[in-house]
Amino acid sequence: MNRHLGIAVCLLTIVGVLRSDGSLRSCHGQTVTSDSAAAIATGGQNGAVEDQGQLNPIQIENQHAGARDWQLTRVRLDDGGYRSPWIEGYCSKQSVRAGESIDICVSTNPVRQFKIEFFRMGYYGGRGARLMKTVDSVPGKIQPDPVIGEKNLHECRWSPSVQLTIPDDWISGVYLGRMTTKPEGTEAYWQSYVVFIVTDDRPADVLFQCSDNTWQAYNRWPNQYSIYTHPKGVQGPWADVSFDRPYGREGQYTGVVNDPLTVGSGEFLPFEFPLSYWLEKGGYDVAYCSNSDMLTPDRGLKCKAFVSIGHDEYWDLRQFNSAVTMRDAGVNLLFFSGNSVCWVTPFRSSSSGQDNRIIFRGGPYGGDNEYAVDRERIHGPFPHRGPDEGLLMGARNVEPVNGGGDWVVTKSDHWMFDGAGVKDGDSIPGLIGWEYHGQPADIDGLRVVGAGTAWQGGVNPQQWTATIYPGPKGNFVFNAATIFWAQAVSSPPGHTLPWSHWSRPHGPDDRVQRITKNLFDRSVGAAP
């Protein structure tokens, strides 16, 4: 057996038996030759990266050839617009480490065989993704409707279609599995994604926390069901939501990102991928994790900077405590996000016993601040009350928390603006939205570096504030005060600009790129 085939045998997702002729016979009757097995083992890439010198793992990874074809091309939604029953799936875990296995649970109606291609998202010379592995033919089947449980929980109990063991050389990142049906006769093929995070424990410079709790809270699969749609009310503790279900089209509000080509990928592509793409293009040493990986501070304490990105609304109390511990230990905290740390979101296990697979809105953060007290009075009672998020982030959630406006510089002499070519009063058009932060906290050394007006519904004014304050060990905490910050750092393939409240960002802006570089370079100790 050659070396590549030996690797492929260890990594093949569909358990099988090795034949004496060097082919692999799967349990589903598929045959993989030694050549195709070697292609699987090498992720479909030719050649090897040469001497790496002092390159970090992200720089080495992005030397691999990117995929020209990784986006969804043909997507079909049902009449409600919330799901794609022709092909849809979910993963058994939010995140997984190299050497561990993850199940991909897929339903096809009508029954069709399908192909699944696994891509790591990154820069890759501007292509945005690298093909890591292909399983060319998987039997499809119609999986049952979700079981409706307590608090209107919709939990799928689907059997696995593919079990994927993560190879040792798959570095940390966000991975999309693109599923494509195999058509019969003259019918069309259909596609959707599954999404999972490969995490690790290495001491990377930057830890990028995906906001997957919020992806799931807003997920309306299968029939307008989400944390917001319980008959008792849209802001109470009434609804449980499960990670054991596919992601439908992105978002609760299709006016924000009305893009069916995100089906199955949560909110990663519209709100988070632009920053990930920019970081990897810049060669920053970045590792990735899910919200559920931050229930202890251990992962973050190994890094120099921690990133909250996009729409990071739902945090378990243990996440909050982890972030406080990290800040106090000297980790830099970068909130390139809006509406963050807004709701206490306890985890519990699935019906099968898998940890951290069910969440609900347990109560507001905010301590005794008016915003939190009003939420309790109007939407409670809640079983939990979180501490004042402003004392962590520097600025707080406000009411109303959504709208749109321009990001306006207020302290251009601060080091974060060095080289950005801005002066007080300069604005970045449309960068505030869909939701934001305001009301700066009373913290020694805190500076308001951006402030202005957002208009809820296009007409009702609200004040937002971006802040930065020093940590106890020469570190700092930055709060960009907007979900849309990443929209101004890059526009990778497969990305669509969002809009809401009659306002939208313009896309990449060299001033924001420089500000972001200054913040990361200071975080990781790089020379200016």
Question: Where on the phi/psi map is residue 229: left (φ > 0), alpha (ψ -120 to 50), or beta?
Answer: alpha
Give kind and range of the element (H or E) at residue 115: strand 114-121
d(CA 317, CA 336): 20
Q: What is the DSSP track for 493-520? A: TT-----BTTB---S--HHHHHHHHHHH
Q: Per the confidence metrics, is the pTM higher than 0.85?
A: yes
Give kind and range of the element (H or E) at residue 34: helix 34-41
Percent of the chain having pLDDT more than 70? Answer: 88
- The C-alpha angle with vertex 79 and arms to 73 and 82, in degrees rounded to 5, equals 65
Q: What pLDDT, on a 0 to 100 scale, did the predictor assign at position 362?
A: 97
Residues of the chain below pLDDT 70: 1-52, 250-255, 257-258, 527-528
Picking from 226, 223, 317, the residue whose alpha carbon sits closest to that of residue 267 is 226
- Summarised one tens digit per residue, pLDDT across range 458-476 is 999 999 999 999 999 999 9
Number of CB atoms found within 10 A of residue 263's CB: 25
d(CA 224, CA 300): 35
Cα distances (angstroms) measured from residue 354 to each of 112, 158, 242, 274, 299: 29, 14, 11, 31, 21
- Summarised one tens digit per residue, pLDDT across range 86-105 is 999 999 999 999 999 999 99
Cα distances (angstroms) measured from residue 283 to each of 205, 318, 336, 351: 11, 31, 19, 41
Q: What pLDDT, on a 0 to 100 scale, did the predictor assign at position 79?
A: 86
Helix axes of 34-41 and 3-11: crossing angle, nearest 10 degrees: 70
CA 341 from chain centre, in angstroms, equals 15
Q: Helix H segments across 127-253?
A: 212-218
Q: What pLDDT, on a 0 to 100 scale, did the predictor assign at position 248?
A: 87
Q: What pLDDT, on a 0 to 100 scale, did the predictor assign at position 178?
A: 98
d(CA 88, CA 142): 10
Q: Say whether 174 sits in a helix, a strand or coil.
A: strand
